Amino acid sequence: MPARKVLFALLFLAIGNTAAQENYDLIIKGGRIIDGSGNPWYAADVGIRGDRIVTIGNLANESASRTIDASGLVVSPGFIDPHTHAIRGIFDVPNAESSLLQGVTTLTEGNDGSSPFPIDEHYQAITEKRISPNWAVFVGQGTIRSLVIGSDDRPANPSELQRMKDMVAEAMQQGALGISTGLFYVPGSFTPTEEVVELSKIAADYKGIYISHMREEAAQLLDSVEETIRIGEEANIPVQITHHKVIGVENWGASIDSLRLVDEARAGGIDVTIDQYPYTASQTGITALIPQWAQEGGEARMIARIDSPETRQTVKAAIVDKILYDRGGGDPKNVFISRNPRDRSMEGKNLAQLTEERGLRPSAENAAELVMDIVKAGGATAVYHAIGPQDVDRIMQHPATAIGSDGPVSVFGEGAPHPRQYGTFARVLGHYVRERGVITLEQAVRKMSSMSAQRLGIRDRGLLVEGYFADVAVFDADEIKDMATFEDPHQYAVGMKYVLVNGELVVENGRHTGRHPGKILYGPGYTGNQ
């Protein structure tokens, strides 16, 4: 080939390569960028190549394989949910529509002290399933304690404590984000503070965090906050008070003091933060009404105590107290059965209604008898309307508070679940930002994205920044809204137009695309190959 033709061919190749490098797989044009930092919005285009954000700026003269017109829409980082129970549902619904249609691109499992174990086997199962959102887990202190000690109410002996430490270290090496506790639940409730500190020190060695469902969120709320702060200080580990709330009408307003304790701790150099769901009702098992001492030793011994003439009345009195002054919010009508696989007819009904169906007066005493019968029959999940609305606002406004759902992945149409699993993030954007102005849009996006990314040690996510992974939410700030209600919970949020996970569209024009680009997000102590 003549030299001139060779030179021309090389020049043509160079021009072609340059053009290819300038092209994008996707450009999101004309949107209002809220980057997750809390800074004011600005106008820009977002250029994506592969699984990364490549350019943020004016891309009017650039080309892409696909362009999304985001005029009039908000472009933000995909949301990170720091507290879910998504293992319930993710293997049945790998699309995770209830989360993705709110803009949630990362789910975290293993909260409240209950987690898969071993972690690597669980991660392998998730990888093989192929899911739409990203996935990460904590190691549960309650799970580890139950494997080593069971549900006995006693401290660990030295050899048991060492076994549990070794298990925490193993989980951290396999990619756990940190350690979670559910000190309200058995067997976590039987754990001395000192034992929690020792296990948390191991998680701290691997740069993990401590996230806790505290011992109490009602009358002993402040004692529980102080214990959480103590664990952070003594274990030298960042701590997160998870789903922070105030339960029981007589305790409403206590968030003034709980947030003061957080502020004082932070001023003293203790790294404590919060997450929250934006509802005035909680959801957990009906055994939340059973005193913890009665649950010691497992289900069979709990039922034996319920049936025993010596202890039944004591158990009943404790249930009555919880209905009147704790999770029951003062009346059996505030406790709804959300899921009971053994008796679907109960789902969506409250304890007052179910008591009346028995031909009895809907008193706390008669409701307590019903609760014991439900527990003996295998238990159920319940929604408890007992959280102070002003406390919800106050906690949300605190600068150390992130947003999390505390919900599973919804199997559409199953049971009468808490609407938080369909609506948490959309509810903040619609009800608390647009309708009530409790926080600003920029603050809300930060609480849903970069705050949790930073807290959980998740790198290169949670912000719209060049070089970060392309987890992106595009929504209409005037339209986004949670549709799920306690009466009709199985309704997807509206207003989320596009969602990308690792650069792939999983939501397009408000509908799931069926794609499954989610990745395992390993914790900071991970020693394997990513």
At residue 40, the 3 state secondary structure works out as coil
pLDDT in tens, 464-487: 999 999 999 999 999 999 999 999
- Per-residue model confidence (pLDDT) at position 12: 43
Query: Across the beta sheet with 79-81, what order do the strands follow?
Result: 79-81, 104-109, 134-137
* 498, 505 contact by CB (below 8 A): yes
pLDDT in tens, 367-399: 999 999 999 999 999 999 999 999 999 999 999
At residue 180, the 3 state secondary structure works out as strand
DSSP sequence for 197-238: HHHHHHHHHTT-EEEEE-S-SSTTHHHHHHHHHHHHHHHT--
Which tokens in the block code for residue 184?
A: 């309200």
26's enclosing H/E stretch is strand 24-33
- Per-residue model confidence (pLDDT) at position 93: 98
- Per-residue model confidence (pLDDT) at position 14: 43
Positions of the chain with pLDDT lower than 70, given as ranges:
1-22, 530
SS (H, E, C) 88-110: HHHCCCCCCHHHHCCCEEEEEEC
* 151, 252 contact by CB (below 8 A): no
At residue 323, the 3 state secondary structure works out as helix
Backbone angles phi, psi at 79, to 5 degrees: -85, 150
Backbone angles phi, psi at 258, to 5 degrees: -65, -40
* 388, 282 contact by CB (below 8 A): no
- Per-residue model confidence (pLDDT) at position 11: 42
- Burial category of 269 from C-beta neighbours within 10 Å (exposed 0-12, middle 13-18, buried 19 and up): exposed
**d(Cα 319, Cα 141) in Å, to the nearest integer?**
26
524's enclosing H/E stretch is none
102 bridge partner residues: none
Distance of CA 3 to the CA centre of its chain: 65
Residues present in the chain in total:
530
Query: Across the beta sheet with 281-285, what order do the strands follow?
Result: 281-285, 381-385, 335-339
